[in-house]
Amino acid sequence: MPISPTAEGFRVAFRRPLLTFAEITWRWVVGATAAVLFFFGLFEFLDTLPVTNGELLFLRTRNPFLVSQAIAHILRGHLSRGLLSLILAALLLAVIWIVAASLGRIATVETLLEYFRARFAADTTHEGENDVSNNLEQGRFAALLRLNFLRVAVVLAGLVGLSGAAVVAHSVSTAPDPQAGVAFLLFVAIAGVVCVIGYELNWLLSLAAVFVVRDADDVIGAISSSVALCRRRPAALFAVSTWTGVAHLIAFVGASTVVSVPLALAGILPWRLILLGVVLVTLAYLAVADWLYTARLAGFVCIAEIPDALLAPPPPLPSPTIPSAMIDRDELILSDVPIPQPGT
């Protein structure tokens, strides 16, 4: 019987919760490190800012205009230093993410390969070049480092593209001839193209990680294998990405709706309780998102490992035929002559 890679991906995510736990572990460690560094750096930066008595008086007035003027005066001459520190911290976090993502991907994909190879053992055989035990650990780790570096480069290129879209949109609307509507539409169009291209490139690079772990390919070979798989099985890849994406969208909408409830009660409930509720809902959403990513990754590995015979749609059922010898031509119900009615 044909097998659905989408259903197999969700089934593995249900049956192997340790895979999701491993995915959550390395992602949340990087996220927690980023949060700690951000708040620590923010507090340290604020401690270095000199505040005069006049600026403190403006802040205590709670007038929006006076507060903004005080903050602008406090940050004058110090904002460049804070921005430079933020860029340096982001680069260090990118290095941490590259290393953690490479180690996590080796662990999860190896487990998924073992599962699906045992699942399809009776239907296919694996040659030695695709055997995980024959892959070089050091070569795979180095290739994943380069691959994840490309993913970071794609994100940076996307940010540069969004900045360029803002510059182009701003150049359309000038002070003598303001055209806010045209500028907004132009920014949305360019930003949409940048986001679509960035998403597709990131999706392709995430798929290439499967071939780096499975075949010990280099970056170019893994990307080529990913493109070949997209050409060979586009419907299955589209189905896995679509269904997991729809589930992710539903989870995001549900989490946003739940978060809006405590925020609407901000004037009634204590702010600590509201903050705790928002944090708990956010963590639950992130856990569901990581679980869906595990299901999508499992679907990709299933598509790469499943035999063609199990992925092909089932043949159409033959239409039932009745032997002519079983039909009695003398039956009146089959006759072309109308049946005489009583009294005629």
Report percent pLDDT > 70 for the chain. Answer: 83
Predicted local distance difference test score (pLDDT) of residue 129: 43
pLDDT tens digits along 119-139: 877 655 544 444 444 445 667
CB distance 273 to 262 below 8 Å: yes
Name which of 43-57, 184-198, 206-220, 270-284 the model is least confident about. 43-57
Overall average pLDDT of the 77-104 stretch: 85
What is the helix (H) or strand (E) element at residue 109, kind and residue range? helix 79-119
Asked if residue 328 has pLDDT above 80, the reply is: no
Overall average pLDDT of the 157-183 stretch: 83
- C-alpha to C-alpha distance for 191 and 164, rounded to whole angstroms: 9
Which is nearest to 242 in space by CA: 23, 5, 1?
Answer: 5
Most confident of 24-28, 58-62, 176-180: 24-28
- C-alpha to C-alpha distance for 326 and 333, rounded to whole angstroms: 15
Predicted local distance difference test score (pLDDT) of residue 55: 74
Residues whose CB is less than 8 angstroms from the CB of residue 34 and which lie 6 or more positions away in sequence, other chains included: 93
pLDDT tens digits along 4-45: 888 888 999 888 888 888 888 889 988 888 888 888 888 877
pLDDT tens digits along 288-300: 999 999 999 999 9
Predicted local distance difference test score (pLDDT) of residue 333: 55
CB distance 19 to 109 below 8 Å: no
Predicted local distance difference test score (pLDDT) of residue 338: 57
More reliable by pLDDT, 61 or 101: 101
What are the C-alpha distances in Å from 278 to residues 36, 39, 260, 274, 281? 18, 18, 9, 6, 5
Predicted local distance difference test score (pLDDT) of residue 259: 86
Asked if residue 319 has pLDDT above 90, the reply is: no
pTM: 0.77
- C-alpha to C-alpha distance for 213 and 141, rounded to whole angstroms: 8
Name which of 27-31, 234-238, 295-299, 332-336 the model is least confident about. 332-336
What are the C-alpha distances in Å from 242 to residues 6, 246, 253, 291? 9, 6, 16, 15
Structure-block tokens of residue 338? 């109308």
Which is nearest to 73 in space by CA: 52, 92, 103?
Answer: 52
Rg of the chain over Cα atoms, rounded to whole angstroms, equals 30
Predicted local distance difference test score (pLDDT) of residue 203: 92
Predicted local distance difference test score (pLDDT) of residue 306: 83
Which is nearest to 199 in space by CA: 232, 158, 149?
Answer: 158
CA 147-149-153 angle, to 5 degrees, is 115
CB distance 5 to 239 below 8 Å: yes
Question: Cα dihedral sign for 171, 176, 180, 182?
Answer: negative
- C-alpha to C-alpha distance for 198 and 202, rounded to whole angstroms: 6
Predicted local distance difference test score (pLDDT) of residue 146: 92
Overall average pLDDT of the 233-252 stretch: 91
- C-alpha to C-alpha distance for 21 and 19, rounded to whole angstroms: 5
CB distance 98 to 202 below 8 Å: no
CA 327 to mean position of chain CA atoms? 61
